[in-house]
Structure 1
């Protein structure tokens, strides 16, 4: 690694800027609510872009382009499913969750909300929710560590074992220092960087390819008709599995917490429009990178060694080969931005669950706000170390790790969140049954691989059924719980009028 290399310098400036924002977040953090939810102060623009950036992670610039490069547009069914799911999440969940968490004693975390929503004084629901978050987020965090390691390995020639620690350290630093505000502010910058990279890179690669074509050649012919076929080598179950990624949105804690942190319900509609526009453009750019990479590396076989070894580096190789080193450094920083934005939010959600729902509730009920903030910082570091240890295998693939964690959260929490917001008859035991059945189904289905169906589908369906059966079979919700649910519903109607 040459410290005078323009790419390295650009990267360094970017990282220093993120640390500077982390310091600003530190100065604005005075209590646990600030550290884990930003004091519910995010406006529409920051809410939208931080939700998008924390959602997409490294798979947007690595996993998805690599899948398209290898298999063609039928892999883009994932993007279709995600777009539908994200829109419904903004439309159905965002505003109501923002209001409901405030009306349940200003709940700061997902376990906190569920415990308050269902008046769970035993804290069983809180503990089970926290355990599920920790189990699946360690896998999710590990996927972010792998993506960061791949970037540092490819850019600087670092051994994978070293790149793991360097990439993770870049994220840990500003989360540790600044908490939720730093994460949200940096997400806004990183989302802007991601969309710029995903629009510029495929456009430049396209013109590079057309400049090398012979009169008898065309880009479409070089890519091949089968890679433009949405159903090529795709079964009905395969398409359903890819579309089903959209179900995952309703249960992702790191996305839901962005809705909870919005400054008001009134900010949600504008945030939805901004967020969905950003998402559609980014997904389209990622698909375009994978497709245009096919003819580019066919015409330049001497440059294709990295992509042949690992298709998930197609964006990295295009950026390195086609752009001035200064610009390439900025584009490659977009991958780090994607990794950092998601990993930082995941670390913070895990830290929040351990601090607010375990440490404060069971160990130190009278802990000061300063003590809780520092416990939260310690938890960030501890969870990051565990994620690094999980990610040690150099053969790890980002997309496969993300899909497992995504399914776990979507099945365990998706039905619970939706029904808790809209069904007044749902009970504490119903919520508990839904979380356990959804999570266990995902784990068992993943191991067995039944029918080749993505495990989120049976997990989501069985989790929802468990909620309905157990809620109806048990004791009716209390009068206070029903009254609060009705008040929230009435308030939402008045706000939407």
Structure 2
């Protein structure tokens, strides 16, 4: 290992040691009860709530996936995605956060999202809870695999180690960390990682722009590529028979620009709809110590998101200017942040910046694993399989499920040609369509019925699979991002089935009014 590479490695090891230290610090308190392990005893302050929500949400795709899209296709696809996400973040904090916090307390002091949905509709047979838990297990397993891919790509690109070995090692590290500290360790480290992520992004943005010769040079280079620097066009790299981009005399070749019309823009903006159904974000709303502090959290979260997303998109554009032929496949393009960091920064500083990718990955994967484990242990095991389960038994089962999910995620992530952005987009659509509509209807429409909730969740979740696997490959109108049609389908089912079934009980309606008037 070269001297500079060794320095980068040491910096990252130090960072990982700090994260493990956080897990150990919170281990005792986290293991006092399942409520502490899964929700931290509703003790989060506004800064931790905001920063941990955004760090757990963005994951490695913010530093690898999104810059990779900008490097490969240019401005439009990445920018419209970022705009949709920023808008979704703001609206979710503005309308959903306080209402969900208050409702989760009133509805049986719910500590998981499936708990809330089930308690909201006063279930006895726990159908909604079971459906919620199953979808959470499925989509978070996919999500966790995307994080493992990120770690594998990071270390294999940096140090030349075998991708699969690094991916499995990263997965084991995340698993051990999540085992130790639960939700409190997760949120504390996520706050630290959110700061690391935004500092890393801004650092590379500023230095990269300077080295490239300034903003005007970067923009001119981008404009010289057909469709690359347009909001209503998209670049199309010219690929050879082996699937890599063709370069002539050191100049990457592109086909004629493609069109990026209104239909495609709406499809991309639909990313913002996903926020209304993201368990890792919604859980933070439930966990804050005082709902009145959510306004402060919203401001922090929105500022963080706008800066981070903007920097990530810009880094992809800068990367194409500085290293035009370095990354010749879509999958490889997701390493542009790593290439910039390792080439432009002193080794120790590059190690710190590279820790930003680890930060993003760890902050997300621990959330995904923990929420998936809680979905099974609390909502399926304790409520359906063993109703008299003790708190210790629930904790033991949750750790077994953590291990199982990790193993499945590792299997999914074994393919080193996996594209992080693609994996994340599918899981994001799954959560957005399954939980987004029912979250909104449950909080804001008193007439929503249990039957409508079940119909909406099933139709939304199934529609994501059907659209993604069967309809989207047909192209044309079916080429839209699966979240948009699936979200609409779920809303229709909730409304129609609720109207066709009997009104909610007086108890349910009274609870709704209590929350509404709070």
Question: TM range, normalised to the smaller chain?
Answer: over 0.9
RMSD across aligned positions (CA): 1.7
State the partner residue of 2:238: none
- Give the superposition deviation at 1:255: 1.1
Unaligned segments of structure 2, at least 5 residues: 234-257
Aligned to 1:132, what secondary structure does the other structure show? helix
**2:140 is the alignment partner of 1:153:** no
Tell me, in whole angstroms, the C-alpha distance in 2 between the residues paired with 1:171 and 1:90.
Answer: 28
8 Å CA contact 1:61, 1:315 repeated in 2: yes
Q: Which residue of 2 aligns with 1:272?
A: 298
Contact 1:176 1:381 in 2 (8 A): no
Asked if the contact 2:276/2:437 (under 8 Å) is kept, the reply is yes
The answer to whether residue 390 in structure 2 is matched with residue 390 in structure 1 is no
Indicate the residue corresponding to 1:495 in structure 2.
none
Query: How many Å separate the matches in 1 of 2:50 and 2:218?
Result: 35
Contact 1:415 1:434 in 2 (8 A): yes
Structure 1 contact 54–342 (Cα < 8 Å) conserved: yes
> Which digits, 9 at most, give the CA deviation of each residue in 1:136-167, with x for residues without a partner?
11111111111111111112212111111111
User: 1:229 corresponds to which residue?
Assistant: 230
Paired residues in the alignment total: 483
Q: Distance in 2 between matches of 1:2 and 1:57?
A: 29
Q: Tell me if the contact between 1:140 and 1:402 (Cα under 8 Å) persists in the aligned partners.
A: yes
Equivalent residues in 2 for 1:80-479, closer than 5 Å: 80-210=83-213, 218-224=217-223, 226-232=227-233, 233=258, 234-298=260-324, 304=326, 310-447=332-469, 448-449=471-472, 451=477, 452-479=479-506
Matches of 2:18 and 2:217, distance apart in 1? 43
Matched-pair contact (CA < 8 Å) for 1:307–1:314? no
Output the CA distance in 1 between the equivalents of 2:510 and 2:150.
47
| Regions of 4+ moved over 3 Å | 1-4, 305-309
Q: 1:494: which partner in 2? A: none
In 2: Cα distance, 1:364 partner to 1:152 partner: 42
Deviation at 1:306, TM superposition (A): 7.5
Indicate the residue corresponding to 2:242 in structure 1.
Answer: none
Between structures 1 and 2, the one with greater helix share: 1
Compute the displacement of 1:366 (Å).
2.7
Q: 2 CA distance for matches of 1:149 and 1:309?
A: 13
How far apart are residue 73 of structure 1 and its match?
1.1
Q: Equivalent residue for 1:26?
A: 27
Report the CA distance shift for 1:391/1:466 in structure 2 as closer, same or farther (over 3 A). same
Which stretch of the first structure deviates more once superposed, 380-389 or 193-202? 380-389
Q: Is the 8 A contact 1:152 1:167 kept in 2?
A: no
SS of residue in 1 equivalent to 2:296:
helix
TM-score for the superposition, normalised by structure 2: 0.91
TM-score normalised by the chain length of structure 1: 0.94
Q: 1:297 Cα deviation (Å)?
A: 1.3
- Matches of 1:374 and 1:429 in 2, distance apart? 33
Residues 330 and 419 of structure 2 are in contact (CA less than 8 Å); yes or no, is this contact kept in structure 1?
Answer: no
Structure 1 alignment gaps of length 5 or more: 492-497
- Between 163-172 and 476-485, the greater mean CA deviation after superposition: 163-172
- For 1:399 and 1:307, the matched residues in 2 are separated by 14
